Amino acid sequence: MISLVVPAYNEEAGIEELYRRVCSAAPAWNDDWELLVVDDGSSDRTLEILERLATTDARLKVVALSRNFGHQPAVSAGLQHASGSIVCVLDADLQDPPEALLPFIQKVRDGMDVVYAIRTHRKEGPFKRMAYHVYYRLLKRLATLDIPLDAGDFCVMRGEVVQAINQLPERNRFIRGLRTWVGYQQTGLAYERAARYAGEPKYTLRSLFKLASDGIINFSYRPLQAIMLLGFMVGVAAIAMGLIFLAQYIWDFPIMGYKPREARGWTSLILVLLFSSAVQLFCIGILGEYIGRLFEETKRRPIYLVKRRIGVGKPEELTGT
Find the part of the chain contacting Mg ion (CB under 5 A) among 85-93, 131-139, 220-228, 241-249. Answer: 85-93
Shortest Å distance, C-beta 168 to ligand UDP: 20
Helix, coil or strand: residue 213: helix
Query: For ligand UDP, which is the closer residue by CB, 50 or 278?
Result: 50
Amino acid 136 reads: Y
Shortest Å distance, C-beta 123 to Mg ion: 9
Residue 9 interacts with, from ligand UDP, Mg ion, none (CB under 5-8 Å by kind): ligand UDP
Dihedral Cα 159, 162, 168, 170, nearest 10 deg: -160
In angstroms and rounded to an integer, the radius of gyration of the C-alpha atoms of the chain is 27
Query: For ligand UDP, which is the closer residue by CB, 40 or 150?
Result: 40
Query: For ligand UDP, which is the closer residue by CB, 133 or 300?
Result: 133
Report the site for Mg ion in 137-166 (rule: CB under 5 A): none
- Looking only at the bridges linking them, the beta strands covering 33-39 and 186-191 are unpaired
Helix, coil or strand: residue 189: strand
Shortest Å distance, C-beta 160 to ligand UDP: 25
- Residues 147 and 155: their CA atoms lie apart, in Å, by 14
Out of 10, 72, 76, 95, the only residue in the binding site for Mg ion (CB under 5 A) is 95
Query: For ligand UDP, which is the closer residue by CB, 89 or 105?
Result: 89
* Torsional sign, CA 258, 263, 268, 272: negative
Q: What is the DSSP string of 247-264?
A: HHHHHT--BTTB-GGGST
Shortest Å distance, C-beta 71 to ligand UDP: 4
Within 10 A of 38 (CB to CB), how many other CB atoms are there? 27
Burial string for 229-264 (b: 16+ CB within 10 Å, else e) reads: eebbebbeebeeebeebbebbeeeeeeeeeebeeee
Find the part of the chain contacting Mg ion (CB under 5 A) among 83-91, 112-120, 223-231, 239-247. Answer: 83-91
Residue 12 interacts with, from ligand UDP, Mg ion, none (CB under 5-8 Å by kind): none
φ and ψ of 4, to 5 deg:
-110, 115
Shortest Å distance, C-beta 204 to Mg ion: 13
Query: For ligand UDP, which is the closer residue by CB, 70 or 177?
Result: 70
Decide if residue 93 touches Mg ion (CB under 5 A): yes
